[in-house]
């Protein structure tokens, strides 16, 4: 870093939205060949800041300096022309076109002014790939390559446009551990080539692994900028949340009892009648958390729906505490004591236009004392809600507040309060912390462990390996609708990651 002038400098960036100060006098600088992580919870102002940098928003105050020169972008096009590239969480690729076509799209090399020069396009893409050591076939169609490769195409797209500053927005959210590992290799290569990278994330471990410097945002303010070396997860979490956070789930060894949930040779098909779960069998015992790990779309969604009665399995059995409930339907499953924390809380978990009290009574309304002979008691429903709101620390409103107005974390607390208050014997939690902040995640994890300690059987389905490993007493890995193996929570991420991609079907025998 002999060049002292930062490649990019943000000075005093302030952006006010109605009711929210999204960015409050933010200073940030980026050196040549540096990976600078931007860490913060949802709503901390990361995205706003990057949208300002990318020309999508105009800051109310402050200035942007590129190589020491003041610039002002009024569109993404200008930002791109100035050498800034952005890779979004969701890719902007055209699936039916080839890698090369996607990369040159918008900046196509042409012959005679109009005709696409395919050979030139291919050649220039290969140049980029060679320079930065990308292993991607330019002739492959985008819908035929993996998610990790698609992300590489996005990065190449930016590099092809001569970006020397790359913004990556939560790049690992969609990747498997192995793909994330590969991505980090690529980022290190780019750093060597002098590309500067802003790496947006809320995952502490990966930020510590890759970043040269880390800037923590909280409520629109820069809390601190620290070197990656020497930073700790605890310190960063404290800066992010503003208080001490329990990162490691503290739990005693499990004392499993008898099996409460028994899934036996279950076959399930998706909405298009394609079988996505092929004869799965496993048990969850009282007093244990079984984690089901897998990459999204390997049959987890259909499996969970079949267990909780939302989807009819085509064959096999679901047995809860000795009772065959395979075709019982959701109401019966609730009655025999299966709680469900759905993966999509806004679609499945809550009636957003109902009040908190009504949402909390979404199961209880049909039984005394909330109702008698079909007559509701709004007074009792609200009274019960007040107790649960206190007990589960639901913030942002009272019993009569509409659920839609709550934050994601508090909405999830409503779901959890409802499901746990029903005192289930089996709790099926599907991605219970998706989209939640560090503080809320801590809360959800603690509740799940408490349920386990109450001798409930907990099935945890998650795409976050970290979460699976820290919570589970046993880990099952699902791949293409089949169980690949059973692992102990001490198994390394790499080994689990390999199993999740169907590689190395090791592990112990799947229990019958």
Partner 1 sequence: MTVGTPQPETEGAPDQTVAARFALWQRAGGIATPLATALFAFLVAGLVVLATGHNPLQTYRAIFNGAGLNWLFPWVHGATRQTAAFNLQETGLLIIPLVLTGLAVAFAFRSGLFNIGGQGQYIVGIVTGTQMGVWFASLPGPVHIFLAVTAAALAGAVWGGIAGILRATVGAHEVISTIMLNWIAIWVGSYLIGFGGPFQDSSQPGVPVSREIASNAHLPVFWGSPLLQGLDIGFFVALGTLVVYWLVIRRTTLGFEVRAVGYNPDAAQNAGIGVARNYFIAMAISGGFAGLAGAMDILGWQFRLDVTTVQTASQVAFTGIAVALLGRNTAVGTFLAAALFAGLINGTASRNLDPSVFPPELAGNLTRIIQGLVVLFVAADVLILYVWNFRRKLKRRRAAPTTAPVAE
| Rounded least distance, CB 308 to partner 1, Å | 8
For partner 1 (CB under 8 A), the number of binding residues is: 63
Indicate whether 76 belongs to the interface with partner 1 (CB under 8 A).
yes
CA atoms within 13 A on the CB side of 216: 22
Which residue among 71, 105, 321, 336 contacts partner 1 (CB under 8 A)?
105
Q: What angle do CA 447, 448, 454 make, to 5 degrees?
A: 90
| Rounded least distance, CB 153 to partner 1, Å | 12
Indicate whether 123 belongs to the interface with partner 1 (CB under 8 A).
no
Indicate whether 87 belongs to the interface with partner 1 (CB under 8 A).
yes
Q: Which is nearer to partner 1, 174 or 214 (CB)?
A: 174
Binding mask 7-46 for partner 1 (x = CB under 8 A): -----------------------------------xx---
CA atoms within 13 A on the CB side of 372: 4
| Rounded least distance, CB 215 to partner 1, Å | 17
Residues near 137 by Cβ (< 8 Å), separated by ≥ 6?
99, 145
Indicate whether 287 belongs to the interface with partner 1 (CB under 8 A).
no
Q: Which is nearer to partner 1, 120 or 352 (CB)?
A: 352
Q: What residues form DSSP beta bridges with 320?
A: 261, 323
Indicate whether 396 belongs to the interface with partner 1 (CB under 8 A).
no
Indicate whether 83 belongs to the interface with partner 1 (CB under 8 A).
no
| Rounded least distance, CB 55 to partner 1, Å | 6
Q: Which is nearer to partner 1, 189 or 371 (CB)?
A: 371
Q: Which is nearer to partner 1, 65 or 352 (CB)?
A: 352
Indicate whether 485 belongs to the interface with partner 1 (CB under 8 A).
no
| Rounded least distance, CB 232 to partner 1, Å | 26
* Strand, coil or helix: 324: strand
Q: What angle do CA 214, 207, 156 make, to 5 degrees?
A: 100
Token output for 5: 């002038």
Question: Considering Cα of 280, then 281, then 287, then 293, what sign does the dihedral take?
Answer: negative
Segment holding 66, helix H or strand E: strand 61-66
Say if CB 455 and CB 475 are below 8 A apart. Answer: no
Say if CB 81 and CB 100 are below 8 A apart. Answer: no
Segment holding 12, helix H or strand E: strand 8-17
| Rounded least distance, CB 453 to partner 1, Å | 26
| Rounded least distance, CB 397 to partner 1, Å | 13
Which residue among 178, 346, 455, 470 contacts partner 1 (CB under 8 A)?
346
Stretch that binds partner 1, among 135-143, 316-324, 375-383, 455-463 (CB under 8 A): 375-383
Stretch that binds partner 1, among 137-145, 248-256, 273-281, 326-334 (CB under 8 A): 326-334
Q: Which is nearer to partner 1, 191 or 332 (CB)?
A: 332
Which residue among 7, 38, 50, 129 contacts partner 1 (CB under 8 A)?
50
Which residue among 19, 347, 490, 512 contacts partner 1 (CB under 8 A)?
347
Say if CB 178 and CB 494 are below 8 A apart. Answer: yes
Q: Which of residues 408-467 bind partner 1 (CB under 8 A)?
A: 408, 435
CA pair distance 165, 363, nearest whole angstrom = 52
| Rounded least distance, CB 496 to partner 1, Å | 26
CA pair distance 462, 295, nearest whole angstrom = 9
Residues near 16 by Cβ (< 8 Å), separated by ≥ 6?
22, 60
Stretch that binds partner 1, among 132-140, 347-355, 444-452, 462-470 (CB under 8 A): 347-355
CA pair distance 500, 503, nearest whole angstrom = 7
Say if CB 273 and CB 312 are below 8 A apart. Answer: no
Say if CB 214 and CB 39 are below 8 A apart. Answer: yes
Q: Which of residues 189-248 bind partner 1 (CB under 8 A)?
A: none
CA atoms within 13 A on the CB side of 430: 20
8-17/20-30 β-pairing: antiparallel
Stretch that binds partner 1, among 258-266, 352-360, 449-457, 481-489 (CB under 8 A): 352-360
CA pair distance 301, 305, nearest whole angstrom = 6
Nearest residue to 158 via CA among 94, 119, 104:
104
Kindly list the distances between the CA atom of residue 500 and the CA atoms of 146, 321, 480, in Å, as whole numbers in the listed order: 14, 30, 9
Which residue among 206, 358, 473, 493 contacts partner 1 (CB under 8 A)?
358
What values do phi and psi take at 209, rounded to 5? -75, -35
Which residue among 89, 178, 189, 455 contacts partner 1 (CB under 8 A)?
89
Indicate whether 303 belongs to the interface with partner 1 (CB under 8 A).
no
Stretch that binds partner 1, among 27-35, 233-241, 323-331, 481-489 (CB under 8 A): 323-331
Indicate whether 374 belongs to the interface with partner 1 (CB under 8 A).
yes
Token output for 225: 């900028």
* Alpha helices, H only, 308-407: 329-335, 356-360, 378-391
Which residues contact partner 1 (rule: CB under 8 A)?
42-43, 47, 50-51, 54-58, 74-77, 80, 86-92, 94, 105-107, 169-170, 308, 310, 329-335, 340, 342, 344, 346-354, 358, 362-363, 365-366, 371, 374-376, 378, 402, 404, 408, 435
């Amino acid at each position: 870093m002999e060049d002292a002038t930062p490649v990019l400098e943000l000075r005093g960036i302030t952006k006010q939205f109605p009711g929210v100060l999204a960015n409050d006098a933010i200073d940030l600088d980026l050196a040549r060949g540096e990976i600078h992580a931007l860490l913060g919870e949802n709503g901390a102002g990361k995205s706003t800041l990057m949208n300002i940098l990318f020309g999508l928003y105009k800051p109310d105050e402050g200035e942007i300096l590129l190589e020491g020169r003041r610039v002002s972008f009024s569109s993404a096009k200008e930002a791109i022309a100035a050498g800034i590239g952005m890779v979004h969480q969701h890719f902007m690729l055209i699936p039916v076109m080839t890698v090369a076509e996607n990369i040159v799209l918008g900046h196509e090399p042409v012959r005679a002014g109009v005709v696409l020069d395919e050979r030139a396009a291919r050649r220039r893409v290969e140049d980029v790939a060679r320079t930065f050591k990308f292993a991607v076939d330019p002739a492959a169609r985008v819908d035929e390559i993996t998610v990790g490769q698609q992300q590489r195409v996005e990065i190449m797209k930016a590099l092809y446009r001569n970006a020397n500053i790359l913004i990556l927005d939560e790049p690992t959210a969609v990747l498997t551990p192995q793909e994330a590992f590969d991505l980090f290799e690529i980022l290190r290569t780019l750093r060597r080539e002098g590309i500067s990278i802003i790496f947006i994330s809320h995952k502490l471990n990966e930020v510590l692994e890759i970043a040269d410097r880390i800037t923590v945002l909280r409520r629109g303010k820069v809390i601190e900028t620290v070197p990656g070396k020497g930073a700790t997860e605890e310190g960063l979490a404290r800066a992010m949340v503003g208080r001490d956070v329990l990162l490691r789930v503290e739990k005693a060894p499990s004392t499993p009892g008898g099996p409460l949930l028994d899934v036996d040779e279950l076959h399930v098909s998706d909405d298009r009648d394609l079988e996505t779960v092929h004869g799965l069998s496993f048990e969850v015992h009282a007093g244990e958390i079984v984690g089901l790990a897998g990459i999204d779309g390997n049959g987890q969604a259909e499996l969970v729906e079949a267990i909780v009665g939302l989807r009819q399995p085509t064959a096999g059995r679901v047995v809860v505490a000795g009772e065959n409930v395979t075709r019982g339907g959701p109401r019966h499953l609730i009655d025999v004591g299966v709680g469900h924390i759905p993966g999509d809380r806004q679609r499945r978990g809550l009636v957003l236009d109902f009040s908190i009290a009504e949402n909390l009574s979404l199961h209880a309304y049909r039984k005394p004392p909330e109702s008698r002979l079909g007559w509701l008691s709004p007074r009792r429903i609200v009274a019960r809600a007040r107790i649960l709101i206190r007990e589960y620390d639901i913030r942002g409103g009272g019993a009569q507040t509409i659920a839609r107005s709550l934050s994601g974390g508090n909405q999830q607390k409503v779901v959890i309060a409802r499901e746990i208050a029903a005192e289930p014997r089996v709790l099926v939690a599907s991605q219970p912390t998706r989209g939640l902040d560090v503080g809320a995640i801590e809360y959800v994890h603690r509740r799940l462990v408490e349920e386990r300690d109450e001798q409930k059987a907990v099935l945890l389905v998650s795409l976050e390996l970290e979460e699976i490993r820290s919570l589970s007493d046993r880990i099952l890995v699902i791949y293409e609708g089949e169980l690949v193996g059973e692992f102990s929570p001490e198994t390394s991420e790499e080994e689990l990651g390999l199993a999740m991609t169907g590689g190395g079907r090791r592990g112990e025998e799947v229990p019958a």
